[in-house]
Amino acid sequence: MSHHEINIAVFASGNGTNAENLIKYFNDNTESGIRVSLVVTNRAGAGVVERAKRLGVPVEHITRDRFSDHDYVMGILKAHHVEAIVLAGFLLMVPDYLLKYYHDRIINIHPSLLPRYGGKGMFGINVHKAVVEAGDTETGITIHLVDEICDNGRILFQAKVSVDPTDTPEDVEAKIHTLEREHFSRIVALTLAPDL
Ligand code: GAR
Q: How far is the CA of 109 from the centre of ligand 1 (A)?
A: 7
Index of the ligand 1 atom closest to the CA of residue 177: 2
Q: How far is the CA of 176 from the centre of ligand 1 (A)?
A: 9
Model pLDDT, residue 132 = 98
Q: Nearest Cα to 80, choosing from 42, 36, 32? A: 36
Q: What is the pTM of this model?
A: 0.96
Where does the chain show beta strands of DSSP type E? Answer: 6-12, 34-41, 59-61, 82-87, 106-110, 138-145, 155-162
Q: How far is the CA of 1 from the centre of ligand 1 (A)?
A: 32
Q: Which of these is catalytic: 3, 4, 103, 110?
A: 110
Say whether 110 is catalytic. yes
Low-confidence ranges of the chain (pLDDT < 50): 1-2
Q: Which residues sit with their C-beta closer than 6 Å to ligand 1?
A: 12, 14-18, 88-89, 109-111, 123-124, 127, 176, 180
Q: Kindly give the pairing relationship between strand 138-145 and strand 155-162.
A: antiparallel
Model pLDDT, residue 3 = 60
ω before 115 within 30° of 0 (cis)?
Answer: yes
Model pLDDT, residue 1 = 47
Model pLDDT, residue 48 = 98
Distances (CA, A) of 165 to 113, 168, 171: 18, 9, 11
Q: pLDDT (tens digit, 9 = 90+) per residue, 4-26?
A: 789 999 999 999 999 999 999 99
